[in-house]
Amino acid sequence: MKSIAKQQLLDFIQQLKVEKRASEHTVKSYQRDLKRFSEFCDLNELTVWTELSHEWVLKHIANRHRNGIGSTSLQRELSAIRGLYIFLMKLELATENPAQHVKAPKQPRKLPKTMDVDQISGLLDAGANSVLEIRDVAMFELFYSSGLRLSELSALNLIDIDLQEGQVTVLQGKGGKSRRLPMGKKAMTALQKWLTVRPSKSNSEQAVFTSAKGTRLGNRSIQLRLKQWCIKKGVSESVHPHMLRHSFATHLLEASQDLRSVQELLGHENISTTQIYTHLDFQHLADVYDQAHPRAKKTD
């Protein structure tokens, strides 16, 4: 690509950081995707962005798909390319968006892995033998009790926890949306135990979950602690924080059959996202049908 095209790409990334206030993860992903797209242009002797047509973008995505890149990654790459052209069109440096109508290949939707109630009980009732394990049990109980995302749990501050009302407030959920969630008795008891021994680096540290040094516990540390806990307790399956969230949603749906309420608790913007749990729950529904429907019962 010509130097002017490279500069336009840098200007777009800068706009993402400053004006759009995109997350660091998004910025890095877009940078990586657009660098790869620029290399594709160089291989095909395309020197400026206006030389690209719908067919060139389609060819790039098709090549990536043949190399084994999944649908989700390709959708993000297309979003990065579309974003670049929207930026160029606003500055009147391009007249059309060649990525506008290019779609990533569809990928079969994978059902999330969950744990059954007995597995959850075995994991959470194993007992804590140290201050850090008391903290860990409180974290894992809260994941399962309230269906929190990893980033939501790590971002919790003391003011977000209301033990008297049995509620936790998520101020920065996905998409910047807040929501208030109930806490179960097990989670409340575990949190009370943790808060009595919680170390903090200073009185100004507001994080609910802190490290041994008294600073906020990061996402990666929480993931590692859950992994270590499972190994110590003899859980052979690879368990991650989101599996506890999936289990929360599945078990709640099994008991209530209230999809809208589960959507609200999970913080899903669209109910179609929540509906994936109805697939997990199909066997339960089938059992209920067999037992309850007058024409379903088998006769000898």
Per-residue pLDDT reduced to its tens digit, 210-228? 999 999 999 999 999 999 9
Residue 207 lies in a domain: yes
Instruction: Looking at the structure, tell me whether residues 84 and 136 fall in a common domain.
Output: no
Per-residue pLDDT at 108 exceeds 70: no
- Among 47-51, 72-76, 198-202, 263-267, the minimum mean pLDDT is found in 198-202
Which two tokens mark 7? 């500069």
pLDDT of 41-57, one tens digit each?
999 999 999 999 999 99
- Average pLDDT (19-25) is 86
**Residues carrying an active site annotation:** 149, 174, 242, 245, 268, 277
pLDDT confidence tier of residue 300, bands split at 50, 70 and 90 = very low
pLDDT value for 72: 86
124 and 264 belong to one structural domain: yes
pLDDT of res. 238: 80
Which of 110, 203, 96, 190 lies closest to 146, judged by CA? 190
Residue 279 maps to a domain = yes
User: Strand 179-182 and strand 167-170: pairing?
Assistant: antiparallel
DSSP string, 50-85: GG--HHHHHHHHHHHHHTT--HHHHHHHHHHHHHHH
Across the chain, mean pLDDT equals 86
Between 233 and 64, the more confident residue is 64
Looking at residue 290, its pLDDT comes to 65
Boundary (domain end) residue, out of 52, 75, 90:
90
- Report how many helices (DSSP H) and strands (DSSP E) the chain contains, helices first: 14, 3
Domain identity same for 80 and 145:
no
Domain region containing 162: 117-288
